[in-house]
Amino acid sequence: MNVIQKLFRSSLGKKTIMAITGILLFGFVIVHMLGNLQIFLGADVINTYAAFLKSKPALLWVARIGLLVLVGLHIGSAVQLSRQNRAARPIPYGDAKHPGASYASRTMLMSGLIVLAFIIYHLLHFTVAVPGVNLLGASAQLPNGDFLQLKDATGHQDVFRMLVLGFSNVWVSGFYIVGMALLCMHLSHGISSLFQSLGIRQHFCGQCLDRLAMLLAAIIFIGNSSIPIAILLGYGR
Amino acid sequence: MNLTLKVWRQKSANSPGRFQDHTARNVMPDMSFLEMLDVVNEELAERGEEPIAFDSDCREGICGACSLVINGIPHGGNAGTATCQLHMRHFHDGQTITIEPWRARAFPPVKDLVVDRSAFDRIIQSGGFVSVNTGGTPDANALPIPKVDQELAMDAAACIGCGACVAACKNASAMLFVAAKVQHLALLPQGKVEANRRVLSMVEAMDAEGFGACSVTGSCEAVCPKQISLDFISRMNRDYLKA
Ligand code: HEM
Ligand code: SF4
Ligand code: FES
């Protein structure tokens, strides 16, 4: 059997795809979070950082397409596996219990799909910056309600003000925090589970992996949610 | 004590099943769960009713025949024991107990609480063996095997093929069973020769039988009467990817 067949046909292969794409996406989430946290270093720092990223369009597009492929493979395998799993038990139990299984581990598809909805909104909100979705409308601070027209003194796009204005809306901030909570739940199982999918769990203690996953997931949640929360509490306004 | 049993009754594979209430009277705490069902069945037979069909054989936790999902947990939820080793002292007077068969597409119903587990046999047939001519028994210690590997292989070999792992898994996945059956051979020199071929064909057979995939929830490990570890699944994944 060749490698491609093994990866795309068998249940084990699909789990390998989930694990590899999952760990790479997790790596992206960490780097992205560190980038975002520069907001706490002031407007200059984060605006310069954003301008730096924008100044490398080739790199930016390679990363974007790479991420799209990762998400596509991850979701593709997730949907196929979930269908196989559902079909494997046609008659449900009258009294269904789940000994030993955490809530997060049983709801990976659901948490994943909500994270997907969040990602789509997030892209429309800050990346494509569709004016309609920021729920702010036009104002003196925000002409036409369009984030892309915000410029700082040096002519760079004013990402700092975009974030401050964007998160000043309670509903938007709330949805970001919910999205992060679901991502946190997804990762609290996923980061531990991927060790098994990759066949290296036996070298670690199982409980330590579960704890590590929860710790990393919590860091993602706290790190990212701190931004909307700080802004709602008045940071930058 | 007296108990109400909510038992899944199903005449045959093709007829629809449903829960039916039965009463177990004068149950002694020292009875095993299966003895309790025997008593109920005697009463049913005396009244000319159809006894409850369920699987059992050794009744000492070594054959893997007994099954039963008891109050939602395969083998009843006592760590490291099969249904035949479950005693009635874990229940209290007046309790209602739900009893269901293993539920999985790959384990089609036969009658009442009996399901057809021959999917496991077909997985074993696909590679769960060692192809050597059995000559005389080799001398003990003629073939040195590291202690760690011996122990691991023995742990995996403890699997009695009951199928509780499938029954407990939200995906009805057979990964724990297949991993145990792959690993108890792959860890030993006699089994290593065919290790690659074995893991590839057993995984293929597993998928073909219609079991689900592994979501690493850990339910299988929690209910396994032989407490087979999730680590064996990880080892199998590694061997599969290497093969
Ligand atoms: C930033 C985004 C995401 C990250 C970092 C991520 C990460 C992970 C990781 C590390 C795993 C564990 C893989 C394994 O067990 O080997 C996983 C599993 C899973 N992910 Fe994601 N994921 C993300 C988005 C999504 C999305 C959008 C979906 C939507 C369908 C999704 C659905 C799933 C499912 C269903 C599983 C469990 C598969 C199974 O065990 O059967 N994930 N994810
Ligand atoms: S792994 Fe455990 S639960 Fe599964 S068949 Fe073997 S003994 Fe039964
Ligand atoms: S009857 Fe043999 S293991 Fe229970």
Report in angstroms the alpha-carbon separations of A151 from A5, A83, A142, A148: 51, 48, 11, 8
Main-chain dihedrals φ then ψ at residue B24, nearest 5 degrees: -105, 120
What DSSP string runs through B101-147?
A: ---BTTB-EEETTEE--HHHHHHHHTT-S------SPPPTTSS---H
| Res. B137 pLDDT band, cuts 50 70 90 | confident
Ligand 1 pocket member A82 (CB < 6 A)? yes
Q: Which ligand is nearest to the CA of B159?
A: 2
Q: Which of B215, B221, B237 sits opposite A108 (nearest CB)?
A: B215
Among B73, B121, B154, B165, the mutation site with the greatest number of ligand 2 atoms within 8 A of its Cβ is B165
Distance B162 CA to ligand 2 centre (A): 5
Q: Per-residue pLDDT for B158 more than 60?
A: yes
Picking from B98, B93, B109, the residue whose alpha carbon sits closest to that of residue B53 is B109
As to burial, measured by CB atoms within 10 angstroms (0-12 exposed, 13-18 middle, 19+ buried), residue A3 is exposed
- Start-to-end Cα distance in chain B: 56
Main-chain dihedrals φ then ψ at residue A135, nearest 5 degrees: 60, 25
Alpha carbons B21 and B29: distance in angstroms, whole number? 21
Element (H, E) at B7: strand B3-9
Element (H, E) at A91: none
Q: Per-residue pLDDT for A1 more than 70?
A: no
Write out the two tokens for A25: 């996406």
Q: Per-residue pLDDT for B141 more than 80?
A: no
Main-chain dihedrals φ then ψ at residue B228, nearest 5 degrees: -65, 135
Main-chain dihedrals φ then ψ at residue B221, nearest 5 degrees: -60, -35
Superfamily of B3-110 according to CATH = Beta-grasp domain (3.10.20.30)
Domain B118-242 sits in CATH at 1.10.1060.10
Give the model's pLDDT for residue A146.
86
Query: What's the distance, CA B82 to chain centroid?
Result: 8
Alpha carbons A92 and A129: distance in angstroms, whole number? 45
Strands B18-24 and B3-9, by their bridges, are antiparallel
Report the predicted TM-score, pTM, of the whole model to 2 decimal places.
0.92
CB contact under 8 A, B236 and A16: no
Give the model's pLDDT for residue B140.
73
Ligand 1 pocket member A16 (CB < 6 A)? no
ipTM of the complex: 0.90
Among A111, A115, A116, the mutation site with the greatest number of ligand 1 atoms within 8 A of its Cβ is A115
Q: Domains along chain A?
A: 2-88+104-232 (1.20.1300)
CATH 3.10.20.30 occupies which residues in chain B?
3-110
> A17 vs chain B: nearest CA distance in angstroms?
11
- Start-to-end Cα distance in chain A: 60
- What number of C-beta contacts closer than 8 Å exist between A and B? 148
pLDDT tens digits, A38-67: 999 999 999 999 999 999 999 999 999 999
Alpha carbons B145 and B136: distance in angstroms, whole number? 19
CB contact under 8 A, A189 and B77: no
> B233 vs chain A: nearest CA distance in angstroms?
7
Main-chain dihedrals φ then ψ at residue A40, nearest 5 degrees: -80, -5
Give the model's pLDDT for residue B134.
67
Residues of B in contact with A99 (CB under 8 A): 73, 77, 168, 219, 222-223
pLDDT tens digits, B1-57: 999 999 999 999 999 999 999 999 999 999 999 999 999 999 999 999 999 999 999
CATH 1.10.1060.10 occupies which residues in chain B?
118-242
Q: What is the mean pLDDT of residues A167-192?
A: 97
What DSSP string runs through A162-227?
A: HHHHHTTSHHHHHHHHHHHHHHHHHHHHHHHHHHHHTT-GGGS-HHHHHHHHHHHHHHHHHHHHHH
Report in angstroms the alpha-carbon separations of A188 from A213, A214, A220: 5, 4, 10
CB contact under 8 A, B237 and A199: yes
| Res. B225 pLDDT band, cuts 50 70 90 | very high
Pocket (CB within 6 angstroms of ligand 2) = B 159-165, 176-177, 180, 224-226, 228
Q: Which ligand is nearest to the CA of B226?
A: 2
Alpha carbons A41 and A48: distance in angstroms, whole number? 11
Alpha carbons B205 and A134: distance in angstroms, whole number? 52
Taking the CA of residue B62 as reference, the ligand 3 atom at the shortest distance is 3
Amino acid at B42: E
Q: Per-residue pLDDT for A155 more than 90?
A: no
Element (H, E) at B97: strand B96-100
Pocket (CB within 6 angstroms of ligand 3) = B 56-59, 61-66, 82-84, 160
Write out the two tokens for A207: 């409980």
